[in-house]
Structure 1
Amino acid sequence: MDDTRQGNNNLTNEPHFSHAPRLKRMRQLSKLLDGAIAIPGTKQRIGLDPILGLIPGGGDTVSAALSGYIIIEAAQMGLPRKALMQMVMNLIIDTVVGSVPVVGDIFDVVSKANLRNMQIVESHAKLSAPSAKTDKLFISLLIVGLIVFALAVGCITALGWSLASNLFNK
């Protein structure tokens, strides 16, 4: 029997059909975070990520949590650990550098970590059908790690703002 009639999409460029709703949500979120708004007079687009980054203390935490959702969805799709760890590194770099005042805001406009992560997801979604053997322990640790990371960024940012306000109020 022809592989395409068996549901094996390895011979096509389309993701496995069961990934379609999840991929649609992930694409929409990555576009919202990294490219929802066109900057007039340029080809540049920005999303909510750099805008959220302007909110002292909590903006980077919210942005990291939303970006983490894309990674969790990718893990549940059965992406390889190597791909997931690359996505996590993109998130960590985007969040850590993005949390630096002024420099981070500029970085957030150009970095587009969520769109890069979606490229990783798309490349793997085309290669395989959903895995029946999802590593639940790895996904659980990934979720906990992303939550801890987002909270740590929020706490560190809030502490930084508190220290800065104390220094400048004296």
Structure 2
Amino acid sequence: MNKIEIEQTKDKLNRLAWVMDNTFRIPGTQIRFGFDGLIGLIPGIGDAAGAVISSHILTQAAQMGVPKSILLKMAFNIGLDAILGIIPVLGDVSDFMWKANHRNVQLLNDYLEQPEKTVIHSRFFVGILGLIAFSGVVMISIFGFLVMRWLWLSVQGN
């Protein structure tokens, strides 16, 4: 993409994020929400539809050549929004508060303005996320081992 195409795409994605996350304001407050929160109210398919729309920003960022660490952070934002959306009531509140589209467009804008700094921050985030996932696997493995050991000792009568 050339600079003009990048700017046009950036403007379109900024508008999409605004429509999805900030279109409406609750009167008398500074609280804003968009169509993502409204779509998320549809039982069963709302959060999935919101995630599909949100993935457009991710796809456009990939086409713009954004590094994988930033794309992973964007995917995390979309995934967290979708997963939280599954939980009744909490999911609906999170749809109004998390604003994954706005976060992802901000990541893209930050990358276009300060690529090195944004890549470093995203790599750190992905590294921490990987460490948390690895720690979770280790903890589950240890727990499984201890349960199996307890069962084995119970069967042996010791």
Deviations along 1:47-71, whole A, 9 cap, x unmatched? 0111111111111111000000000
Give, in whole Å, the separation in 1 of the partners of 2:113 and 2:6: 10
Q: Within 2, Cα distance between the matches of 1:17 and 1:99? A: 39
Residue of structure 1 aligned with 2:8, choices 21, 25, 48: 21
Q: Residue 82 of structure 2 corresponds to which residue in structure 1? A: 95
Structure 2, unaligned runs of 5 or more = 116-158
Per-residue CA distance 1:95-132 (angstroms, 9 max, x = gap): 1001211110011111111111111000112246xxxx
- Name the amino acid aligned to 1:95: A
Q: Within 2, Cα distance between the matches of 1:127 and 1:77?
A: 15
1:74 aligns with 2:61: yes
Alignment-derived partner of residue 111 in structure 1: 98
- Matched to 2:78, the amino acid is L
Name the amino acid aligned to 1:58.
I
Residue 53 of structure 1 aligns with which residue? 40
Q: Deviations over 1:72-92 (max 9, x none)?
A: 000101111000000000110
Greater relative contact order (Cα 8 A, min sep 6): structure 1 or 2?
1
Q: What is the deviation of 1:38?
A: 0.9
Structure 1 segments (4+ residues) deviating >4 Å: none
* TM-score, normalised via structure 2 length: 0.68
Question: In the alignment, is the contact (CA less than 8 A) between 1:53 and 1:99 conserved in 2?
Answer: no
- Residue identity in the other structure for 1:23: K
Equivalent residue of 1:74, what SS?
helix
The CA distance in 1 between the partners of 2:62 and 2:112, in whole Å, is: 11
What does residue 42 of structure 1 align with? 29
Q: Letter of the 2:89 partner, please give it.
A: V
CA distance in 1, matches of 2:51, 2:5: 27
Whether 2:80 is the aligned partner of 1:83: answer: no
User: Which residue of the partner structure matches residue 65 of structure 1?
Assistant: 52
Q: Quick check: 1:50–1:105 contact (8 Å CA) kept in 2? A: yes
Q: Which has the larger radius of gyration?
A: 2
Q: Which runs of 5+ in 1 are unaligned?
A: 1-15, 129-170
How many residues align? The count is 114
Identity across matched positions, percent: 36
Q: Using structure 1 for the length normalisation, give the TM-score.
A: 0.64
Is the contact made by 1:39 and 1:45 (CA closer than 8 Å) also made in structure 2? yes
Contact 1:19 1:125 in 2 (8 A): no
